[in-house]
């Protein structure tokens, strides 16, 4: 049976988990860390770096290092979040061919799903190394409040990474699964999930028989830890400006250092009351003089700077309760998910709002990936009994005359769901009908997210009003929307062209998949070479150390001189294979090296 991994593809960090027997476990990466930074970089030599290694070089290579790509996934160019990212990102963002967002690293432009695919691919490798087998199936989590475009783009990222995403589940739902699965929990709970870039709150009913029913979900896909960091950065920049009349934000390297220092200070202030921010030589003045930045930040100041952000999360919690038609005191447990929930002010706000201490039994960084792994196993294995009923976070509808939004499927409807609507032709012999499908809560179509322009083509030629097309709008369990149509009289399926989608075309995804495959082959070859090189270097060092002794013991005899000469030749050939990076030749020499080593050991033992 195929193993399914669960991946929490986070804004700041990602985490991968798998079922081990009846228990979900987080898989550590090679460095032993349970989470991997969702950071991708390209070095000057064109090498791709992902994770900790990318994070470590982010200050010196700020322009070619992408962090928090999740904030841009599935977004259209002309939107507020993208404009805001343009102001704060250290890497280049440009408009893509479909009104989408592309990222410039060195001389290449990447789509956002491509960048996310690199993180997914890294998580896949982490899992494959640990399990010692190839992995092709995954359950990937997304913020509950992600719309169809964002979900579709995440699915594309999976495809590019060579992963079959068998299900997309919402992060808070995954957390609830990890909390309640197999434990006979029978409660109504709230999940407060504040991560690096997004905020979600979901209310769920968990039944003792493995039924997880989401009653409602609300959120903000542009509210998270990065906004808290930004407040600290603003504060530091303003202070520096007052003191030196210099805007340090203009220097990309300085900005990256500020960003790191701000995040570090924020995290520290979760456990201490005061911290020192110290950035020596942050910029130089026009007179070649280096300036330092040194300030102390108290927890109190941090809380004041971020008060409104926390208040926004509380407002969203209030809205979630209203939509779930529940009072705060009907919530029987509150789960805290996401790194930001370690901040004491966040915990206080949640405790105050729900009038209860939040549950401390789940690990905020790991619970989502664990839940995804549980869901993955349940999907391929009947043994794991569980029923998961999630909802659509946004209403689905179409644009009608006058740019109004006609709602077809309301927000918080349990998925999968579908709704059919009949369209009739309004002109004689009309052969095409255009439908604009959107998601959102506004009555004004323009305020909602356009998912696509669906054009029904090749309609039967008939007088107006005589062709009736039934169009079915469907939202599947991944929260992804599809549209089908049929002619009601002939019962023939009607073809639909999707035109205004902001995602990637099938051809683009296909060519990116090929690119990613090539990368994986190169990477595995590289790893194989590095592994062989390491073994060769160890053997070489041992042989070199033994040579003088061997020479002393047997060098006087012909066969001994022969053996030493042969050994030197093997050493030279090994060196040459390493210089050429020829893995096959190196592996051949490894055998020779091992044989020579055995022989040398024998000689030394006899001679000693």
Catalytic annotation, pick one of 8, 226, 263, 366: 8
**Spatial contact of 257 and 279, defined as CB atoms under 8 Å apart:** yes
Q: How far is the CB of 382 from ligand AMP (least distance, A)?
A: 32
Q: How far is the CB of 434 from ligand AMP (least distance, A)?
A: 39
CA–CA gap between residue 606 and residue 608 (Å, rounded)? 6
| Known catalytic membership, residue 533 | no
- Residue partners of 319: CB distance under 8 A and separation at least 6: 218
Nearer to ligand AMP, 9 or 456 (CB): 9
Catalytic annotation, pick one of 100, 148, 156, 171: 171
Q: How far is the CB of 271 from ligand AMP (least distance, A)?
A: 7
Nearer to ligand AMP, 196 or 452 (CB): 196
CA–CA gap between residue 439 and residue 288 (Å, rounded)? 54
DSSP state for residue 295 in the 8-state scheme: E
- Both tokens of 163, joined, read 């992963």
Dihedral sign computed on CA atoms, order 253, 255, 256, 262: positive
Nearer to ligand AMP, 38 or 121 (CB): 38
**Spatial contact of 449 and 394, defined as CB atoms under 8 Å apart:** yes
Q: State the Cα torsion 63-68-73-76 to the nearest 10°.
A: -60
456: exposed, middle or buried (Cβ count in 10 Å: 0-12, 13-18, 19+): buried
Catalytic annotation, pick one of 114, 193, 365, 508: 193
User: Which residue's C-beta sits nearest to ligand AMP?
Assistant: 225
Range list of β-strands (E), 242-394: 274-284, 290-298, 333-337, 387-389
Q: How far is the CB of 90 from ligand AMP (least distance, A)?
A: 17
**Spatial contact of 342 and 267, defined as CB atoms under 8 Å apart:** yes
Give the H or E element holding residue 453.
strand 449-456
- Both tokens of 29, joined, read 């990466």
| Known catalytic membership, residue 193 | yes
Nearer to ligand AMP, 172 or 339 (CB): 339
Nearer to ligand AMP, 192 or 405 (CB): 192
Burial 549-558 (b: 16+ CB within 10 A, else e): ebbebbeeee
| Known catalytic membership, residue 108 | no
C-alpha distance from residue 416 to each of 219, 302, 315, 389, 481 (Å): 21, 43, 28, 9, 10
**Spatial contact of 146 and 221, defined as CB atoms under 8 Å apart:** yes
Burial 55-76 (b: 16+ CB within 10 A, else e): beebbebbbbbbbbbbbbbbbb
Nearer to ligand AMP, 98 or 266 (CB): 266
DSSP conformation letters of 133-202: S---EEEEEE-TT--HHHHHHHHHHHHHTT-EEEEEEEHHHHHHHHHHTTTT--EEEEEEEE-SS-EEEE
Q: How far is the CB of 430 from ligand AMP (least distance, A)?
A: 50
Q: How far is the CB of 70 from ligand AMP (least distance, A)?
A: 9
- Both tokens of 592, joined, read 């020779």
What does the binding site for ligand AMP look like in residue numbers (CB under 6 A)?
Answer: 10-13, 195-196, 225, 263, 266-267, 270, 338-340, 342-343, 365
- Contacts of residues 554-563 at CB distance under 8 Å and 24 or more positions apart, as own/partner, are 554/603, 554/607, 560/603, 563/599, 563/603
Q: How far is the CB of 336 from ligand AMP (least distance, A)?
A: 10
| Known catalytic membership, residue 171 | yes
Q: How far is the CB of 221 from ligand AMP (least distance, A)?
A: 13
Q: Would you please indicate which residues are annotated as catalytic (active-site) residues?
A: 8, 70, 171, 193
């Amino acid at each position: 049976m195929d193993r399914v991994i669960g991946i929490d593809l986070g804004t700041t960090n990602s985490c991968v988990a798998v079922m081990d027997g009846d228990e979900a476990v987080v898989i550590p990466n090679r460095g032993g860390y349970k989470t991997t930074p969702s950071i991708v970089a390209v070095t000057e030599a064109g090498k791709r770096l992902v994770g900790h290694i990318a994070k470590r070089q982010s200050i010196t290579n700020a322009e070619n290092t992408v962090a928090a790509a999740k904030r841009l996934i599935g977004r259209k160019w002309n939107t507020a979040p993208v404009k805001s990212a343009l102001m704060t990102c250290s890497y280049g963002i440009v408009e893509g061919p479909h009104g989408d967002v592309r990222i410039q690293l060195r001389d290449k432009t990447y789509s956002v799903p491509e960048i996310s695919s690199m993180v997914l691919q890294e998580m896949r490798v982490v899992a494959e190394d640990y399990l010692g087998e190839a992995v092709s199936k995954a359950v990937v989590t997304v913020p509950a409040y992600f719309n169809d475009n964002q979900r579709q783009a995440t699915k594309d990222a999976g495809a590019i990474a060579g992963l079959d995403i068998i299900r997309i589940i919402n992060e808070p739902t995954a957390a609830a699964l990890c909390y309640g699965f197999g434990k006979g929990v029978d409660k109504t709970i709230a999940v407060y999930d504040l991560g690096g870039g997004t905020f979600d709150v979901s209310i769920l009913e968990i039944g003792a028989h493995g039924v997880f029913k989401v009653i409602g979900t609300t959120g903000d896909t542009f509210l998270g830890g990065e906004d808290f960091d930004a407040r600290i950065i603003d504060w530091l920049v303003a202070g520096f400006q007052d003191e030196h009349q210099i805007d340090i934000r203009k220097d990309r390297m300085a900005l990256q250092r500020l960003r790191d220092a701000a995040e570090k200070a924020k995290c520290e202030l979760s456990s201490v009351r005061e911290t020192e921010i110290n950035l020596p030589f942050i910029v130089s003045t026009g007179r070649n003089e280096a300036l330092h930045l040194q300030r102390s930040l108290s927890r109190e100041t941090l809380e004041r700077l971020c008060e409104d952000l926390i208040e926004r999360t509380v407002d969203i919690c209030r809205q979630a309760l209203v939509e779930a038609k529940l009072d705060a005191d009907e919530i029987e447990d509150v789960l805290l998910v996401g790194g930001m929930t370690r901040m004491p002010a966040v915990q206080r706000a949640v405790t105050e709002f729900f009038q209860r201490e939040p549950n401390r039994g789940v690990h905020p960084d790991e619970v989502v990936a664990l839940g995804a792994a549980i869901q993955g196993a349940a999907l391929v294995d009947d043994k794991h009994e569980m029923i998961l009923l999630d909802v659509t976070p946004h209403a689905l509808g179409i644009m009608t005359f006058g740019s109004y939004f006609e709602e077809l499927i309301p927000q918080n409807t349990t998925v999968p769901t579908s709704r059919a609507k009949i369209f009739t032709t309004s002109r004689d012999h009309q052969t095409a009908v255009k439908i604009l499908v959107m998601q959102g809560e506004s009555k004004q179509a323009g305020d909602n997210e356009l998912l696509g322009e669906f054009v029904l083509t090749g309609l039967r030629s008939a007088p107006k009003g005589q062709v009736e097309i039934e169009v079915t709008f469907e939202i599947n369990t991944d929260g992804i929307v599809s549209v089908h149509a049929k002619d009601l009289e002939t019962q023939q399926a009607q073809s639909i062209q999707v035109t205004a989608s902001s995602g990637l075309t099938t051809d683009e995804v296909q060519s990116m998949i090929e690119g990613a495959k090539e990368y994986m082959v190169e990477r595995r070859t590289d790893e194989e070479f590095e592994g062989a090189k390491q073994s060769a270097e160890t053997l070489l060092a041992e042989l070199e150390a033994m040579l003088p002794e061997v020479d002393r013991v047997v060098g006087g005899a012909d066969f001994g001189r022969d053996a030493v000469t042969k050994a030197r030749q093997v050493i030279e050939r090994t060196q040459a294979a390493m210089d050429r990076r020829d893995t096959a030749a190196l592996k051949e020499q490894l055998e020779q090296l091992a044989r020579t080593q055995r022989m040398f050991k024998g000689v030394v033992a006899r001679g000693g």
